[in-house]
Amino acid sequence: MRIMDIQVQPGWELSIVADDGRIGRFDVSPYLGDDAFDALRDEREFEKISNGGYFVEWDCGADLSADTIEARWRVVSESALRIPD
């Protein structure tokens, strides 16, 4: 999966659009107990996210791969349309 768009949502969730048109939600809160994600407990830090296509990364250095996201996200919408490269 390649991440085409990512938006921060309340409650430490991410809204994600994949390259195949699926839209899903990913809950980051289970990761907040890990030292690498400690800074993200501050909502302002959580909002400082960037999309690397095959990963997402925060300014603090925490990151998640698209594979991890895809394995644990909740798909909320599927589209037969593929988003062009």
Task: Spell out the domain ranges in the chain.
Answer: 3-77
pTM of the model as a whole = 0.88
pLDDT at 85 exceeding the cut of 60: no
Query: Residue 27 pairs with which residues in a beta bridge?
Result: 13
d(CA 1, CA 83): 12
Whether residue 82 is predicted with pLDDT greater than 70 in this model: the reply is no
pLDDT at 83 over 70: no
Tell me the pLDDT tens digit for each residue of 12-32: 999 999 999 999 999 999 999
d(CA 47, CA 69): 17
- The architecture (CATH level 2) of 3-77 comes to 2-Layer Sandwich (3.30)
